[in-house]
Amino acid sequence: MLYLLAKAAISGIVIAVASEMAKRYPGIGALVASLPLVSVLGMMWLWRDKPDAENMAAHAGATFWYVLPSLPMFLLMPMLLRRGLGFWPALLAGCALTIVLYLLMTWAAPRFGIRL
């Protein structure tokens, strides 16, 4: 239980630091948020719990393919916000797009021999 709380605290601190930095320095906050810190922390937690090289390789490879469908959200949201759409609708549209693209990736990847 203590291990789970430590993982949650460390992961939460990373998110809090990124959001606090973004208040003063949006570019630097975006840089910190865009770093694969969550993925790296997740891989560290996974390795500690299950130190299996093949499992880790599968996880890292799938992470790469799942990052791709999330990227268009970061183009759609600024476009919608700059056109006057409110934050919440823009966020909802970005999340909806990401969900559709995740579903498409999950469907298409195996057809191209990609294991997720």
- Statement to judge: residues 31 and 86 lie in one domain: no
Tokens of 55: 């499992």
User: How many residues in total does the chain contain?
Assistant: 116
Any domain includes 44: no
- Statement to judge: residues 109 and 64 lie in one domain: yes
- Statement to judge: residues 64 and 17 lie in one domain: no
Any domain includes 75: yes
Please list the pLDDT of the chain residue by residue as tens digits (116 residues).
888 898 888 888 888 888 898 899 988 888 887 878 888 888 998 999 999 999 999 999 999 999 999 999 999 999 999 999 999 999 999 999 999 999 999 999 999 999 88
CA pair distance 30, 88, nearest whole angstrom: 19
- Statement to judge: residues 59 and 93 lie in one domain: yes
- Statement to judge: residues 57 and 109 lie in one domain: yes
How many domains does the chain contain in total?
A: 2
What single string gives the DSSP state of each residue in 15-82?
Answer: HHHHHHHHHH-HHHHHHHHHSTHHHHHHHHHHHHH---HHHHHHHHHHHHHHHGGGTTHHHHHHHHHH
93 with 76: CB under 8 angstroms? Answer: yes
Any domain includes 89: yes
- Statement to judge: residues 34 and 68 lie in one domain: no
pLDDT reported for residue 37 = 81
Nearest to 110 by CA among 62, 39, 57: 62
Any domain includes 27: yes
Axis crossing angle, helix 2-24 with helix 26-34, rounded to the nearest 10:
150
- Statement to judge: residues 86 and 29 lie in one domain: no
Any domain includes 47: no
Expressed as residue numbers, the domain containing 84 is 52-116
